[in-house]
Amino acid sequence: MRLLFLGDLMGRSGRTAVIDALPDLREKLKLDFIIVNAENAASGFGTTSKIAGQVIQAGADVPSGGNHTFDQKEILTAIDNDGRILRPINYPEGTPGRGFNIYDAPRGKKVMVINAMGRVFMNAMECPFRAIDAVLKKYRLGATVNAIIVDFHGEATSEKMAMGHYLDGRVSMVVGTHSHVPTADCQILDGGTGYQTDAGMCGDYNSVIGMDKKEPISRFLTKMNRERYSPAGGEATICGTFLETDDRTGLTKRIEPVRMGPRLMAHMPEV
């Protein structure tokens, strides 16, 4: 199967670019499945049922989340009722929504997506390693499901790398989100799992991780909050990860970055 994961959707600029690009990307890369981390889609803080619906209508199969999942309170009903929208699996028991699900893909294939959040320099959460372990005891790559994609939303590169190696051979790909900066370490780990520390964001890179530059710089200089953060509104660069899996094992045959837009060096896989 061919899958595309797009990193944090940042504000109007990022979501408009992605919504416009998804149909062409699906056709150009001959994609079977698309995941988009949408936790910053609504003015940089959370998402709404309307935005999630627009992303799905444009071609995404799953909008995933992170530490801003519940910033927009109206998402609470949608995330409980719509199995396509995910939040991190290691939120405390009783939190609305779900942290993983299994989805239909073409040719009768089944794709599991797991969304988890790190604990280093992040809010206190349950252990993401044990939470994912509990799921993988019930579902097995290449048997129960044809592909397993883990969106690991975390601050520390070490924690993301540890998760990649911990799950190596048991999932198709571990891809990091949250830092909004694409890393140059797309690789296939020893056990056959595809890995990238961070897919990067889909947003305006003429910014401070997607936010208009003025207020973040002011806060670093003065340690004062003068204004609200607001997403940068310039032309977005789309960043993500392309994955091709083995139909028999579900492990990774090929992994490459995807970058398209005005600010970063472009890269588009050839299929």
What pLDDT score does 78 carry? Answer: 86
CATH number of the CATH domain containing 169: 3.60.21.10
- Distance of alpha carbon 243 from alpha carbon 240, whole angstroms: 10
pLDDT band, residue 74 (cuts 50/70/90): confident
> Can you read off the two tokens belonging to residue 58?
């444009």
Look at residue 94 and tell me if it is in a domain: yes
Look at residue 156 and tell me if it is in a domain: yes
Look at residue 269 and tell me if it is in a domain: no
Look at residue 125 and tell me if it is in a domain: yes
What does the DSSP 8-state code read for residue 161? H
Over residues 245-262, the pLDDT tens digits come to 999 999 999 999 999 999
Residue 178 bears catalytic tag:
no
Q: Catalytic: which of 68, 153, 178, 180? A: 68
What pLDDT score does 146 carry? Answer: 98
Look at residue 268 and tell me if it is in a domain: no
Look at residue 155 and tell me if it is in a domain: yes
Domain that holds residue 219: 2-260
**CB-based burial, 40-66: b 16+ in 10 Å, e otherwise:** bbbbbbbbbbebbbbbbebbbbbbbbb
Look at residue 201 and tell me if it is in a domain: yes
Look at residue 198 and tell me if it is in a domain: yes
Its sign, for the CA torsion 228, 115, 22, 205, is positive
In Å, how far are 1, 12, 132, 165, 186 from 171, measured between CA atoms?
14, 32, 10, 10, 15
pLDDT band, residue 184 (cuts 50/70/90): very high
The closest alpha carbon to 90, from 133, 128, 39, belongs to: 128
The domain total for the chain is: 1
